[in-house]
């Protein structure tokens, strides 16, 4: 392994907009295309990559998540690409809730193939033996907010896991606060100011309503719902009434 050649400080492939980073002392907002800067690449090249796994610990995505972590962080990004730097004030590798807010993220999933030999002693004892195992690492498959196929996207992959009942709606919504979608950095900053800094903007609905979408200041007070989760909320409503 030639560390001097491979594991060096290379410029990352730019695949996301960095919205802001919430630190212990302060929150830093980063300039990007959403802020209409005269320099369309004011924040510099930034690369975000992640993976997700099912709630069931026996699901292959959960059972072998450490393999995926090692492949992405140590082999693919460090050894193969030479990515070694972090966002100032943020870890280079961590769980989503510890990372800065971004517009999107690439994603890797595993295709795990296992072959077992199962034998029975003729009385009451079964035994199983693992004969072989193969893990392939591929770009994630997923569905975007409109329910359309979108690959190599962490939020879309998480949405697919939710649609397949492999993760909870709560976890999908938590990820939505960290991956906010294209051209939504300004909205994410407004939401942060409203929820964390108690800055009240827009119109406050009267009555028992669930806000599911909005634009500009209205979007700052809610997490946008995808098509599938929106239908779930609508079906659970006793009246099935939408207010616009």
- For the question of whether the overall pTM of this predicted structure is more than 0.85, the answer is no
Q: In terms of C-beta density within 10 A (0-12 exposed, 13-18 middle, 19 or more buried), how is residue 185 classed? A: buried
Structure confidence by residue, pLDDT tens digits, 205-242: 556 676 777 766 666 555 556 778 778 877 887 777 77
Q: Which of 78, 232, 239 is nearest to 162 (CA)?
A: 232
Angle of helix 154-163 relative to helix 227-236, nearest 10 degrees, comes to 40
Contact 62, 8 (CB under 8 A): no
Confidence (pLDDT) at 141:
96
Six-digit token pair at 44? 């510099």
Q: What SS3 class is residue 8?
A: coil
Confidence (pLDDT) at 2:
56
Confidence (pLDDT) at 85:
85
Cα–Cα distance, 241 to 244 (Å, whole number): 10
Cα–Cα distance, 160 to 157 (Å, whole number): 5
Place of tokens 């903007």: 201
Contact 50, 105 (CB under 8 A): yes
Instruction: Give the residue ranges of the chain where pLDDT is below 70.
Output: 1-9, 24-28, 30-42, 200-208, 210, 215-225, 243-244
Structure confidence by residue, pLDDT tens digits, 166-190: 999 999 999 999 999 988 888 888 8
Confidence (pLDDT) at 21:
87
């Amino acid at each position: 392994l030639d560390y001097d050649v491979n594991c060096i400080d290379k410029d990352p492939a730019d695949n996301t907009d960095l919205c802001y980073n919430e630190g212990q002392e302060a929150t830093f907002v980063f300039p990007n295309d959403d802020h209409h800067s005269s320099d369309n690449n004011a924040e510099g090249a930034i690369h975000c990559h992640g993976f997700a796994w099912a709630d069931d610990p026996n699901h292959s995505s959960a059972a072998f998540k450490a393999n995926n972590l090692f492949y992405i962080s140590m082999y693919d990004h460090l050894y193969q690409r030479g990515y070694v730097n972090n966002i100032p004030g943020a870890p280079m590798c961590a769980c989503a809730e510890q990372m800065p807010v971004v517009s999107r993220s690439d994603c890797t999933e595993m295709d795990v193939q296992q072959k077992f030999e199962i034998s029975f002693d003729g009385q009451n004892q079964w035994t199983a033996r693992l004969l072989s195992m193969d893990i392939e690492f591929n770009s994630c498959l997923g569905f975007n907010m409109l329910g359309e196929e979108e690959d190599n996207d962490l939020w879309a992959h998480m949405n697919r896991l939710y649609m397949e009942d492999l993760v909870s709606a709560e976890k999908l919504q938590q990820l939505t606060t960290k991956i906010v979608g294209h051209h939504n950095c300004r909205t994410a900053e407004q939401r942060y100011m409203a929820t964390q800094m108690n800055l009240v903007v827009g119109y406050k609905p009267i009555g028992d309503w669930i806000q599911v979408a909005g634009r500009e200041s209205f979007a700052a007070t809610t997490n946008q719902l995808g098509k599938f989760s929106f239908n779930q909320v609508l079906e659970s409503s006793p009246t099935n009434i939408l207010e616009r």
